Amino acid sequence: MTVRTRFAPSPTGFLHIGGARTALFSWAYARKHAGQFILRIEDTDVARSTPEAVQAILDGMNWLGLSWDEGPFYQMQRMDRYREVIGQMLTEGKAYRCYCSREELDALREQQMASGLKPRYDGRWRPEPGKLLPEVPAGVEPVIRFRNPQAGVVEWNDLVKGSISIANSELDDLIIARADGTPTYNFCVVVDDWDMGITQVIRGDDHVNNTPRQINLLQALGATVPQYAHLSMILGDDGQKLSKRHGAVSVTQYHDDGYLPEAVLNYLARLGWSHGDDEIFDMAQFCQWFDLDHITPSAAQFNTEKLNWLNAHYIKLADLERLSADVAQRLSAQGVSVAAEPALPAVLALYRERANKLNELAASVAYFYRMPPIDEAAYAKHVTADVLPLLQSLSDALQQAEWTVEAIHAALDQVVKAAEVKFPKLAMPLRVLLTGSAQSPSIDAVMCLLGRETTLQRMHLPLAG
Ligand SMILES: Nc1ncnc2c1ncn2[C@@H]1O[C@H](COP(=O)(O)OP(=O)(O)OP(=O)(O)O)[C@@H](O)[C@H]1O
């Protein structure tokens, strides 16, 4: 049977890291088994769902490259189908109308609690052979309840958590349609999983409690019950479940903050899943390795340092043209336009070894394209009066030098030797003047990329003053 998995977010906010990891595992499972991955937007909470959130989810999935084979399907566009199934269940006696008012249910609950019982619906409108039902009250629209089996247990072999069973006596007759006729969450999910032929439901373990209800509904409908895999939650720094309403940031915020999607994916893949000691792998490898047997059932905590480490790794590996296109955009957002010279890929080749994030990388190379602000403390420390003659000699030597790293290096050497000073005595003030700060890669390489004209211009700042 072809594997069919799904990711089913509610568009009540952006796609966050917790949801994205769940989407990734569901996607990888489908890819590994040459199956299909379906995207379903669970938008029945009309008060909280927005088109902007749908777009944010699609943007997040696209940025990560979690491509879906079918969908997005929208639950709000499937209302006729849900009504059809509800009608069918009523006809077949698998569901019934319940006319209990809110006040009646509240009174029942209070009564049960007062006698130390667990509050639950008492089945007063559930038809049974020979049972007399109450008289239908005038002007009350009923809810529709599912006739949950009363005996036996619901049991499933969770692909992550192992065998789970719940006694049916613990489960109420679930409301599947509200008094206004709108179907409820668990019911829509069941009809969708059934119609969409989902074979493995891979979702967060915040849904474990829904599963026995959904299995009973599927069985009542005569549907094949899929396998279930409930993934542990991803917790934020404070140990609480990441959610749209608590502590999570959007996946696309990681792009804005300078992360590469492959770093985020690799990081997410290792969050709660392992393949021996392997830490670094691409998605093709992950899809080959991925299985549900090596998922940690306990919750996983987000660790920014590890993500940064992976990001630095992928920045070093990334194609330079691709990196340049990204960094050029980041620079342009800061009002720095990348000129033809020096060529950005060459600049990035010099700098990318040092960067954890792309926006740091952009900030660190901006000085190639505009006069940098000068770190005043570094200037005071390194650009001292005794350095000025060295700068003058270097400037003279550079007027004539061939403009290669080797020739520039030779000119620097010649000046420090002639003045009998150590190399940093000249290199540090040069760094400050040329780059704005006392940290830079090898100064001769920086000068070579900056070009003769800009190098001499910036070196002349203290000489002119
Ligand atoms: N912190 C998390 N860790 C792992 N999976 C999660 C996390 N939060 C949500 N999921 C899973 O992501 C999928 C989509 O969830 P959903 O869109 O409802 O997000 P949510 O953040 O839980 O929403 P809400 O903020 O409304 O509770 C579900 O399978 C859910 O179990």
Q: Are 325 and 260 in contact (CB under 8 A)?
A: no
Average pLDDT, the chain: 95
Q: Which residue's alpha carbon is nearest to atom 13 within ligand 1? A: 19
Q: What percent of the chain has pLDDT over 90?
A: 89
Active-site residue, from 244, 306, 316, 417: 244
Whose tokens are 């039902």? That residue is 133
Q: 465 pLDDT band (50/70/90 cuts)? A: low
Q: What is the pLDDT of residue 443?
A: 97
**Is the pLDDT reported for residue 73 higher than 70?**
yes
Examine the residue annotation and report whether 118 is marked as an active-site residue of this protein. no
Q: What is the pLDDT of residue 400?
A: 87
Ligand 1 and 242: CB distance under 6 A: yes
153-158 vs 162-167, strand pairing mode: antiparallel
Q: Which residue's alpha carbon is nearest to atom 22 within ligand 1? A: 243
Question: Which atom of ligand 1 is nearest to 241's Cα?
Answer: 1
Q: What is the DSSP letter of 234?
A: E
Q: Report the C-alpha gap between 230 and 164 in whole angstroms.
A: 11
161 known ligand binder: no
Q: Report the C-alpha gap between 175 and 305 in whole angstroms.
A: 46
Average pLDDT over residues 10-38: 96
Q: What is the pLDDT of residue 83?
A: 97
In terms of Cα–Cα distance, which of 430, 402, 426 is closest to 414?
426
**Is the pLDDT reported for residue 80 higher than 70?**
yes
Distance of CA 70 to CAs 74, 82, 196, 228, Å? 12, 20, 9, 20
| CA 16 – ligand 1 centroid, Å | 8
**Is the pLDDT reported for residue 229 higher than 90?**
yes
Q: Which residue's alpha carbon is nearest to atom 12 within ligand 1? A: 19
Q: Which residue's alpha carbon is nearest to atom 2 within ligand 1? A: 18
| CA 19 – ligand 1 centroid, Å | 5
Q: Report the C-alpha gap between 206 and 299 in whole angstroms.
A: 11
Q: Report the C-alpha gap between 60 and 252 in whole angstroms.
A: 6
In degrees and rounded to multiples of 5, residue 98 shows phi and psi of -125, 125
Q: What is the value of pTM for the model shown?
A: 0.92
Q: What angle do CA 300, 302, 308 make, to 5 degrees?
A: 140
> What are the structure tokens assigned to 294, written together?
């090596």
- Among 15, 74, 198, 243, which residue has the most ligand 1 atoms within 8 Å of its CB, making it the best to mutate? 243
Q: What is the pLDDT of residue 339?
A: 83
Q: Which residue's alpha carbon is nearest to atom 27 within ligand 1? A: 243
Please tell me the least confidently modeled range out of 34-48, 197-211, 298-312.
298-312
Q: What is the pLDDT of residue 458?
A: 96
Ligand 1 and 203: CB distance under 6 A: yes
Ligand 1 and 40: CB distance under 6 A: no
- Among 10, 207, 209, 214, which residue has the most ligand 1 atoms within 8 Å of its CB, making it the best to mutate? 10
Question: Which atom of ligand 1 is nearest to 300's Cα?
Answer: 3
Q: Are 30 and 37 in contact (CB under 8 A)?
A: yes
Kindly provide the ipTM of the predicted complex, given to two decimals.
Answer: 0.95
Ligand 1 and 236: CB distance under 6 A: no
Question: Each residue of 139-165: pLDDT tens digit?
Answer: 899 999 999 999 999 999 999 999 999
| CA 20 – ligand 1 centroid, Å | 9
Rg (CA), the chain: 32
Question: Each residue of 303-356: pLDDT tens digit?
Answer: 889 999 999 999 999 999 999 999 999 999 999 999 888 999 999 999 999 899
